[in-house]
Chains A and B, each alone.
Chain A
C-alpha cells in the first residue's frame, strides 16, 4: 500500500495479503445463498420417518452444503465469505429454536401460500446453548478467507414473534439483545471478527430506530473494538432513519439500494456518512445477472457517498431466492467490478464528486 492511501484499520484487517491494488473495496455477501437442490431432498428424506436417512446423515448433508457454498464464495473471489446459511431454515425460526422461552404453534401466512413458523415468546427469554459457534468454526475451518457471521437482530426477533410474555416488544428486544451479546462474545472467543446484525423489521417500522439503537448498545457491550459489527437494513424509507442511525455503535451499514435504482442515495449524502457503507450493488430480487460494467457504475454510486476506504461492496440482500447459477454470476461479476474500480482508483482515473447534492444547473 502506498503511504498516502488512507487507512481504515477495522476494514483493512480483511484485506487479503496478496491484494493487487492500493485501494481495497471489501467484497462480501449479506448471508443467505440458494441451497443446492440435493440439500432440500436430503431434508425431505430426513423428515420422512419411513426412511433410513437419520440425524447423522442430515448433519453430514448440511456440512457438505456449507463446505460447497463457502468454496463457491471463494471461487467468486469474495474477500469475506459466509456458508450461505445452509444450516438455517428461516431467519427467525432458526434462532427461536435455540432460545429458551420460545414455543412454536404452527405456520402462519406471510403472503399467498408462503408461510413461516412464527414462534411465540411464552416466558422470559434465556440463553441456553451457543447458536452459531459450531457453524462459524466449521466455515472458518473450511476457508482461508475471513468469515462473516450474520445474526438476526433482536428487534426483528421480537417483532416477528408473537409476544405473550413481555409488556411490550421493546422490553423483549432488549432482553434478546443481551442474548445476542452473549452469543457474539462466544463467537469472538472462537475467532470471529466480522458480525452482521440483520434488522429487516426496521424497514416496516422505521420510527422504532431508537429501539434498534438501544438494542445495539447492548449487543456491542464489552465486545472488542477490532471486531467489525455491521447492520443490515432492507429496503424501506431510509429518510426516516437517517441520519439518526449514524449514532448506532456499529462500523458498517449494509443497505439495499440497487433494487430502488439508487433513488434514495442522496439521503445519505447530507449529513456526511461517517460509518462504512456496505452498498448493495446487485439486485437480489431480479433473476438476471447484471454486467460487470453495470455493477461498476453501481459501485461508483457508493463513492458519491463515502471515500473508497469506507466503501464495502455487497449484494442488496440475501440471495437465497435466486437460481443458484444466477446468484453465483452476480457474486463473480460483483467481485470483478470491484477489482476494476480499485484499479481505476489506483490509476487516478475516477473523478467522483462526493457529498451533498448540488442543485441541477438547468
Chain B
C-alpha cells in the first residue's frame, strides 16, 4: 500500500514578529547577515522562531518535520556562507527571483562545519519523536551558487562540495528523510559529463545517511540526460515540480521510469493562492493516470519550491492544505 507523506523542502519564511525582531537586532545591510557564530538575543530569537515553526508543522499534522532553515539568510548557499573557508562578497541574484544572497567565494579547504547538524539537533529535541526531515542543498546546486578560488577546476570543486556535504550529513542526528534541493539541475543544467559527475556527487551525499533520500529539482523539468543520470544515484525518490512543468516531467517518468518512491511538488511555493486539499488529491490521481507505474511505496506531497517566498499566514495555510491532501489520498488509497 502506498504511503502518502506530507512534507516541505524547508527554508520557511520567518514568523512576522521574528522578521521585525531580527531586523532590529541584526540590521539590514550585507555585513549584518548571519555569520554562524551568533549568540545572545539573536540566537534566542531564532530559537523561539524555530519552536514556532516546528509546532506549526505539528499543528498542521505534516508527516515530516523540518527545522525550517530560518537562519539561512543566503538561502541554499547558507552552508557555505557561514563557513570559515568562505568569503562572502557582493549581493547576487538568487536564480530568476527578485531575491538576493551573498556570493560565497571558497578560498580554502572546506573542512567540517557542523552548522546544519547543530540546527537539526535542536529541531530533533523540539520534534519530540515526530519524524524528522533534514534539508540540504544538493552538491550540484551548492557548487553552482558558489565561486571557487581554491580548488581550481569545476570537477575538483564539485568533488570538494560533495565531500563537505557528505561530512555535514554524517553528523546529523537520527532523521527519517533527507531532502537534497537541486534547482540548479534545472536552472543551469549540467553539460555532458558534468551531469554524470553531478549524479555521483549526489550519490555520495545520499550515502552518508541512513534516512530515505529525496532529490528535489525545481523550476521546471530536468533535461532527459540529466534525469537519466540522476536515476543512477542511490536515492529513494526524485522530486518533480509539477507546478512549473507537467508535460516534460511526465515525459521523463514515462520514458525513463522513476524511483520506487516519488516526491510530487504540487503546491505552489511561490504563489499566495492556497490550493484546495481535494484538488491536490485529484492532481495526484491525474498524475497516476498518466504513469506506467502501478504503485509507489511512498509518495511525498510537497510544495514545489522552498516557501520563504510566501507571507507567513499563507505559508501556514499551504502546510495545512498539504497535510490534509495527504490524508485524503491515504483514505482513498485504503
Tell whether A pairs with B.
yes
A residues whose Cβ falls under 8 Å from a Cβ of B = 105-115, 118, 120, 159-160, 162-164, 201, 204-205
With both chains docked as a complex, state the minimum distance between the C-beta of B25 and any C-beta of chain A, in angstroms.
9
A164-B100 contact, Cβ under 8 Å, with A111-B91, A113-B28, A118-B311: no
Q: Is B43 an interface residue (CB 8 A)?
A: no
By size class, the interface of chain B is 20 to 34
Residue on B nearest A114 in the bound complex, by CB: B28
Cross-chain contact B19 with A113 (CB below 8 angstroms): yes
Contact in complex: A164, B30 (CB < 8 Å): no
Complex Cα spacing A110 to B99, Å: 5
- Interface positions, chain B 81-108, Cβ under 8 Å from A, are 91, 93-94, 96-101
- Which residues does B use to contact A, with CB under 8 Å? 13-14, 16, 19, 22-23, 26-30, 32-33, 73, 91, 93-94, 96-101, 270-273, 308-314
A113 vs B20: C-alpha distance when bound (angstroms): 8
- The CB with the most chain B CB atoms within 10 A, among A106, A110, A159, is that of A106
Identify 17 residue pairs between A and B in the complex whose beta-carbon atoms are under 8 Å apart, listed by A's number: A108-B311, A109-B19, A109-B308, A109-B309, A110-B100, A111-B99, A111-B100, A111-B101, A112-B28, A112-B29, A113-B26, A113-B32, A120-B273, A162-B270, A164-B272, A204-B93, A204-B98
**A109 and B13 within 8 A (CB):** yes
- C-alpha gap A108/B271 in the complex (Å): 12
Distance of A163 Cα from B314 Cα, bound (Å):
14
B98 and A201 within 8 A (CB): yes
Considering only CB atoms, which chain B residue lies closest to A201 in the complex? B98
Q: Which residues of B contact A204 (CB under 8 A)?
A: 93, 96-98
Pair A110/B32 contact, Cβ less than 8 Å: no
On chain A, the residues within 8 Å of B313 by CB distance are 105-106
Cα A160 to Cα B270 in complex, Å, equals: 11
Q: How far is the CA of A234 from the CA of B23 in the complex (A)?
A: 27
How long is the Cα–Cα vector from A297 to B27 in the complex, in angstroms? 37
Cβ-neighbour of A108 out of B22, B29, B32, B309 (below 8 A):
B309
Min C-beta distance of A322 to chain B, whole Å? 14
Q: Which residues of B contact A201 (CB under 8 A)?
A: 98
Task: Please determine whether B98 and A105 come into contact, CB atoms closer than 8 angstroms.
Answer: no
Complex Cα gap A109–B15 (Å): 11
Residues of B within 8 A of A159 (CB): 98
Chain A residues contacting B101 (CB-CB under 8 Å) are: 111
A112-B30 contact, Cβ under 8 Å, with A107-B19, A120-B272, A162-B272: yes
Q: Is the CB of B93 within 8 A of A106?
A: no
Structural contact, B310 and A108, CB atoms closer than 8 A: yes
Q: Are B98 and A160 in contact (CB under 8 A)?
A: yes
Contact B27 A113 (CB under 8 A): yes
A119 to chain B, nearest CB (A): 9
Give every chain A residue within 8 A of B30 (Cβ-Cβ).
112
A105-B314 contact given A110-B99, A114-B28, CB 8 Å threshold: yes
Scoring A106, A108, A113 by chain B CB atoms within 10 A of each residue's CB, the highest score goes to: A113
Instruction: Identify the closest chain B residue to A200 (Cβ).
Output: B98
Give the distance in Å from the alpha carbon of A160 to the alpha carbon of B309 in the complex.
11
Interchain CB contact (< 8 A) of A113 among B22, B97, B309, B310: B22
| Residue of B with least CB distance to A204 | B96
Q: How far is the CA of A106 from the CA of B273 in the complex (A)?
A: 14
When C-beta atoms are compared, the residue in chain A nearest to B30 turns out to be A112
**Inside 8 A of B13's CB, which chain A residues have their CB?**
108-109
Determine the chain A residues whose CB is within 8 A of the CB of B28 once the complex forms. Answer: 112-114
| Cα of A305 to Cα of B91 in the assembled complex, Å | 30
Taking a contact as CB atoms closer than 8 A, the residue among A113, A162, A205 that contacts B23 in the complex is A113
- Residue ID in chain A nearest B268 by CB atoms: A162
Please pick, from B14, B26, B96, B312, the residue contacting A205 in the complex, using a CB distance under 8 A. B96
How far, in angstroms, from A163 to B273 measured CA to CA in the complex? Answer: 8
B91 nearest CB neighbor, chain A only: A111
Find chain B residues with CB under 8 A from A112 CB. 26, 28-30, 32-33, 73
- Residues in A neighbouring B309, C-beta threshold 8 A: 108-109
Please give 7 more A-B residue pairs, beta carbons under 8 A apart, in addition to A107-B19, A112-B33: A106-B16, A109-B13, A111-B91, A112-B26, A112-B29, A162-B270, A163-B271
Smallest CB separation, A98 vs chain B (Å)? 20
Contact B26 A105 (CB under 8 A): no
A162 to B270 alpha-carbon distance, docked (Å): 8
Contacting residues, chain B, for A110 (C-beta < 8 A): 98-100
CA–CA, A201 to B29, complex, Å?
22
The interface residues of chain B lying within 8 Å CB-to-CB of A164 are 271-273
Question: Are B311 and A107 in contact, CB atoms less than 8 angstroms apart?
Answer: yes
A120 to B312, CA, bound (A): 14
Residues of B within 8 Å of A108, CB to CB, are 13, 308-311
CB distance from A196 to the nearest CB of B (A): 20
Residues of B within 8 A of A111 (CB): 73, 91, 94, 99-101
Question: Smallest CB–CB gap between A225 and chain B, Å?
Answer: 35
Query: Which residues of B lie under 8 Å from residue A115 when comparing CB positions?
Result: 19, 23
How far apart are the CA atoms of A29 and B91 in the complex, in Å? Answer: 25
Q: Which residues of B contact A205 (CB under 8 A)?
A: 96
Q: What's the nearest-Cβ distance from chain A to residue B32, in Å?
A: 7
Per the bound structure, the CA–CA distance linking A298 and B312 in Å amounts to: 45
CB distance from A109 to the nearest CB of B (A): 6
Considering the chains assembled together, what is the distance between the CA atoms of A238 and B26 in angstroms? 35
- A160–B23 Cα gap in the complex (Å)? 22
Closest CB in chain B relative to A113 CB, distance in Å: 4
Contacts of B273 on A, CB cut-off 8 Å?
120, 162, 164
